[in-house]
Chains A and B, each alone.
Chain A
Amino acid sequence: MKPGNLTQSFDCVIVGGGHGGSQTAAALRQCGFTGSIALIGAEPEIPYDRPSLSKDYLAGKKTFDRMHLRPQDFWGARDVELLLGRHVSRVDPTARTVMTDRGEHFSYGQLVWAAGGDPRKLTCPGSDLTGVFYIRSKADCDALLDVLPDAQRIVIIGGGYVGLEAAAVFREIGKDVTLVEALDRVLARVAGEPISRFYENEHRARGVDIRLNSGVTSLEETNGRVSSVALASGEAIAADIVVVGIGIIPSDGPLKAAGAEGPNGVDVDAFCRTSLPDIYCVGDCARLQYGPGIRIESVQNATDQATTAAKAICGEFKPYDAMPWFWSNQYDLKMQTVGLNYGFDSVVTRGDPASRSFSVIYLKNGAVLALDCINSPRDYVQGRKLVDSAARIDPAALADTSRQLKEIDLVTS
């Protein structure tokens, strides 16, 4: 690179202005980092709360100005240079520079990659038709909101949290909703069967037509716009718009091209360091050394990893060991999840799903791994302690709702 190309140099460059990136910048200042900081983000907006997109923002219940993670002047006051509307397309770990799609070069002392993920795209014929939407960014959501008033029949492809939350919003505003899921239950990758069945029942009771075991073969058009979704069964479902929620692909391309290791996301150690010198990775695209190596897609994970990386940059090496948690809001149902159920070998249902307040507890070798709590913040709060201590409790006792989780005796063996 010619030295003349160098636009600016920063002690810390953060790529990605979402939950992870913004928290990295804030946490760096909180732990006394005095060097210069740049936050480079592809989106034009200042960092905002992403989970609201598929919930209150989509429902029109929350305006965007209430979703800023920090106010605009916070960044100036913390001396964080916001470089928005720029996509980092190349990382050079030897020259210690990043390059943006505008051709700018920024050199860094430390680099934190917090680029999140891009929605996994539908690939079948017709998937690029007008009328097909994703929900990942404000821009995605605004594009969808623009056409929503004129769309009555909505097909959602994918029964994950984002698809289910969108289904709930669409039903609440009176749309006809069909949700198509390739697997034999919704939330199959993240939750146990009782949770899947519960949500299927709730959505069906509110009029969502849920199609399980249904692969999408193509999207059909009328006058250049999507008009129906063709299923492998041969059936076609009429659609004014299609909303796709089939997961994300970690946005790690430039970092991988620079030599960072990791098969699905970027491998990080307990301090969120990648295999490249002075390059950290946090949030949705960081792959933790947990089990076979997993990425956790949650605000908690992005925020706490960001804090871990910021501390490490400031010389305080505290391994990442935050307790994972997550929430999802659908209709009047609040789900709170704590722990990771990865590798569970049994589940206990605590309470009656029909009462719409119950919990599912995941165990491995008799120890509590995780809980999914529906309309049951008490179980969530008390369950955290059980997850924290990997408590071993007789399953019959766990299922006994006449006793609170905190009152249940541990199995001493």
Chain B
Amino acid sequence: MATISVRTRDGELHSFDGRIGASLMENIRNAGFDELLAMCGGCLSCATCHVYVEQLPTSANLPVSSIDETELLEGSDHRQENSRLSCQLPFDETLSGIVIGIAPED
């Protein structure tokens, strides 16, 4: 089982089994979190899938942000060091235990 924990905007933490191969955005959406709008469906156009990577399992790595992802994140008033667009992060076993926070709405 590869688990994902998601902190919603009210601060509550929820954990669930993630689907390997789907993006973190798809996983969060499929688990029913309606705070994450992900309006462009994952094609790196909208930044409404903005999350904070609060905890990364040791030895796990996330792909580096593309320039486009970085630029889109720069437009957010809530950007932090650990900001990512969740549609750009494929979920796999190595990420089991990852803790993600949903960023505030822009």
* B75 in contact with A73 (CB, 8 Å): no
Complex interface: chain A residues within 8 A of B26 (CB): 66
- Report if A190 contacts B (CB, 8 A): no
Interface SS of A by simple majority = helix
* B40 in contact with A382 (CB, 8 Å): no
- Report if B37 contacts A (CB, 8 A): yes
Cα A303 to Cα B34 with chains together (Å): 12
Cα A384 to Cα B46 with chains together (Å): 12
* B30 in contact with A71 (CB, 8 Å): yes
Interface SS of B by simple majority = loop
* B45 in contact with A327 (CB, 8 Å): yes
Comparing A47-55, A132-140, A174-182, the segment that makes contact with chain B is A47-55
**Residue of chain A at shortest CB distance from B67:** A377
Complex interface: chain A residues within 8 A of B34 (CB): 26, 29-30, 70, 74
Determine which of A29, A55, A300, A380 lies in contact with B43 in the assembled complex, contact meaning CB atoms within 8 Å.
A55
Complex interface: chain A residues within 8 A of B31 (CB): 71
- Report if A147 contacts B (CB, 8 A): no
- Which 7 A-B residue pairs are closest in the complex by CB-CB distance? A381-B75, A327-B45, A377-B71, A49-B41, A378-B71, A74-B32, A26-B34
Supply 18 A–B pairs (Cβ within 8 Å), ascending by A. A26-B34, A29-B34, A30-B35, A51-B40, A66-B22, A68-B30, A70-B34, A71-B29, A71-B32, A299-B39, A327-B46, A329-B43, A377-B67, A377-B68, A378-B71, A380-B71, A380-B75, A382-B75
Cα A208 to Cα B105 with chains together (Å): 41
Most buried by A among B22, B32, B67: B32
Give chain B's interface residues, CB within 8 Å of chain A: 22, 26, 29-32, 34-35, 37, 39-41, 43-46, 67-68, 71-72, 74-75
Excluding A327-B43, A329-B45, A382-B75, 11 further A-B contacts by CB distance (< 8 Å) are A30-B34, A51-B41, A66-B22, A67-B41, A69-B29, A71-B30, A74-B32, A299-B39, A334-B68, A378-B74, A381-B72
Complex interface: chain A residues within 8 A of B67 (CB): 377
Cα A70 to Cα B41 with chains together (Å): 11
- Report if A274 contacts B (CB, 8 A): no
Cα A52 to Cα B74 with chains together (Å): 26
- Report if A77 contacts B (CB, 8 A): yes
Cα A307 to Cα B75 with chains together (Å): 22
Q: Tell me, rounded to whole Å, the shortest Cβ–Cβ distance linking B46 to chain A.
A: 7
Q: Which of A321-335 contact B (CB under 8 A)?
A: 325, 327, 329, 334
* B71 in contact with A77 (CB, 8 Å): no
| Binary B-proximity of A32-69 (CB < 8 A = 1, otherwise 0) | 00000000000000000101100110000000001111
